[in-house]
A and B are shown apart, each in its own frame.
Chain A
């Protein structure tokens, strides 16, 4: 188990390294003159040349990439041998062209908003998805089952940017039950934080719980036909114990997979949700950075998001062995 974990972390790091190389190559080889972008409006050729030196853009690309990677692990110093030298601490991802702030700082600054959306929404969609799936499976063929699965199918075909706008129109503009979505720190103003997060949570949960409901239902129905369930019944276990301890547990494996991947990609930035509700999270940061061609920030957000996806993949594989005794990791 430990050996497997270790191997997965190594291969995950390698994948992340390749992702970073590709991102780096795409943004720095292709004709988009970073120095010109960093220069801003009042720009002179002289200034561009100086920025090129300052950002080390005059160096060959492999050296630039090497320094970039070195910056992530041990930090780096820009303009080392001059008065204007600038220290960039350990996980250094460079400086934003737009604001001149360290990218790492920007990412950490935006993380709480994204974290709030992802954690709140995932709790909600798991609750809705699992419970409606379980009820559907236990009451298969009844009107409850048909209604909830019909809802799930429709919800799975809806889009965040559509539902989000419609819900905002109803609950914020017409009924005025909720404030405009946004982000305030939950530690300073917990009530405001919750009120502003309700719409993003509900929108995401509404759309995503559909998939979980369908997965739970089909997984449970499939497991109910298995021999071990019959054995458990023959032993005289109560149907409550059978359904929750045996059937649901076996049905959890695919749900854990999907949940891990959904949460992982959401943590990297709920791009559309944050865009629709105008919430200053990682997704919003990345869309802003793309619009402004702020390459260090774009690179940083893509890498950060890839990191979450890869980590989620590893965690999911490890959880498999816990949930399903048949899985042996080698």
Chain B
């Protein structure tokens, strides 16, 4: 591939690491660039949400009864859910809260819960996968069976069911009720069902790498187990881990929204896309804009993450083709 370059007169022969090659492939990928840009916009919106409260002179929790039709009492005045220069995405039926601000703050909640859950699931998954694959035998048997059992749980249903139980538990420890307990519980529940997928992939990789000569060599000169696992084996796993993480984030985003939509997630007044969709259900036939905005935002963000994940996979594993 780089034959031509190295033959050029005077050009220094350049060694390129696999990471660099993957990065260069990503940089040439138009889909990857567009999806990364889209994700960037959403991230920026989430980060700068407070600036918009300052620009629009209102907060996501402030009621605006003057934007609602008094004869119906609940519906926004004007077309498309009351979209105007003041309320860019319209207002919420019944309360008149600004939908754009709720959307921006919702991106904050959704993204931070999804990313925390992904991080936690990845840490647990990688540690379990490394242990299971490296030690083998009984430890592997126990851990593999644990993964099998977790995967046998109907995840949404069980997540719904344990949420109130965990919440009770946290409350009995003195954590205040409401979102202070809801959000940690969601992160725990989401990562509880996310880690086995990562662990399985890491375990499979470790089993094959474990027997490679360089690990053998390190072992023969007396390297400790910790050194073998974290210094010799783990650095060879970043590609599959990165791919799994990239494809895990959109799943976490949608699961978070689904849990909140089913009523086991973030509670009002904290804004969240799943909560916005849930709140829109009674009004979907009179004010479809209010349903459409969080739903479409969710779709765009998940699509962007899915496309980026595919690109990352293609870049890291040139054998896989589209």
Contacts and interface: CB of A to CB of B under 8 A. Distances in A.
Given A32-B168, A157-B250, A309 B152 contact: yes
B168 A302 contact: no
Contacts of B306: 153, 156-157
Nearest to A221: B321
Contacts of A87: none
Given A19-B149, A161-B261, A287 B303 contact: no
B264 interface: yes
Q: For chain B, what secondary structure do more than half of its interface residues adopt (helix, strand, loop), or is it mixed?
A: helix
A313 to B, nearest CB: 8
A24 to B, nearest CB: 12
B277 interface: yes
B85 to A, nearest CB: 27
B284 A168 contact: yes
A151 B297 CA distance: 18
Give the contact-size bracket for chain A.
35 or more
A132 B297 CA distance: 27
Interface in B152-166: 152-154, 156-158, 160-166
A268 B148 CA distance: 18
Given A162-B298, A169-B284, A305-B154, A291 B161 contact: no
A312 B87 CA distance: 50
B154 A306 contact: yes
A32 B164 contact: yes
B288 A162 contact: no
Contact of B262 (A18, A271, A293, A306): A271
A169 B282 CA distance: 12
B220 to A, nearest CB: 35
Given A165-B295, A169-B291, A305-B157, A19 B152 contact: yes
Contact of A157 (B156, B281, B299): B299
B262 A272 contact: yes
Interface string B162-195: 1111101100100000000000000000000000
B156 A272 contact: yes
B288 A169 contact: yes
Given A159-B299, A161-B258, 17 more contacts: A26-B165, A31-B168, A32-B168, A153-B306, A153-B307, A156-B306, A157-B306, A159-B258, A162-B296, A166-B291, A268-B154, A268-B157, A287-B263, A290-B163, A291-B263, A305-B154, A306-B152
Interface of B: 148-149, 151-154, 156-158, 160-166, 168-169, 172, 250, 254, 257-258, 261-264, 277, 280-281, 284-285, 288, 291-292, 295-296, 298-299, 302-303, 306-307
12 contacts: A18-B149, A19-B152, A23-B158, A30-B165, A157-B303, A159-B299, A161-B277, A169-B284, A272-B262, A286-B161, A309-B152, A309-B153
- The 6 lowest CB-CB distance pairs between A and B, nearest first, are A162-B295, A305-B154, A157-B303, A173-B285, A157-B302, A268-B154
